[in-house]
Amino acid sequence: MMISWVWQSIRVFTACGLVTMFALPQNLTAQVHVVSPAELQKQTLAASRERQRNLEIVTRFLSSPLAEKAMRIVHTDGRQVKTAISNLSDQDLARLAQRAQKAQADFAAGNLSDRELLVILIAVLVLVVIILAATH
């Protein structure tokens, strides 16, 4: 009699535990995120805007007459280079945009000659080709 009462108690306790475990929604614990969906969306949007800004900087840099001359010197098609730039990683694109901005600022300030800027443009084109060759 005593043993059946113990087994009955164990069965009831196990049943209550299982009902509690399966009755609570599983997504209740999954809804607690380290980063909220709104924050994640905000960060994604900011990264997308930054990438677009970097693309515009590099594209503008490579659209100058001197850049077109550099592309002719290294026998590179401007459309292919601009297409290739869009395939760069965010980090590579950011570094390239930073270098392009610095070169443009130095040139505008008179710190670079046409020849020096041409050398920088050729180096940028070679860098783009190397990065793309390494990633494909």
**Residue-level pLDDT at 52:** 95
What does the pLDDT average to over 68-92? 83
**Structural domains of the chain, count:** 1
In a domain, 27, yes or no: no
Instruction: Give the list of residues 6+ apart from residue 32 with CB closer than 8 angstroms, or none.
Output: none
Give the pLDDT confidence of 107-123 residue by residue, as tens digits: 788 887 888 888 888 88
pLDDT of 126 > 70? The answer is yes
Q: Is residue 67, in this structure, part of any structural domain at all? A: yes
Express each pLDDT in 58-75 by its tens digit: 999 888 888 888 888 878
pLDDT at residue 29, rounded to an integer: 53
User: How much is the pLDDT for 79?
Assistant: 81
Tell me, yes or no, whether 77 lies in a domain. Answer: yes
Establish if 127 belongs to a structural domain: yes
∠45-49-51 over CA atoms, to 5°?
A: 115
In a domain, 89, yes or no: yes
What is the SS3 assignment for 101? Answer: helix
Task: Give the pLDDT mean for 98-110.
Answer: 85
Domain carrying residue 56:
38-135
Q: Are 61 and 104 in contact (CB under 8 A)?
A: yes
Whether 21 is covered by a domain: the verdict is no
Summarised one tens digit per residue, pLDDT across range 16-51 is 676 666 666 665 555 555 777 888 889 989 999 999
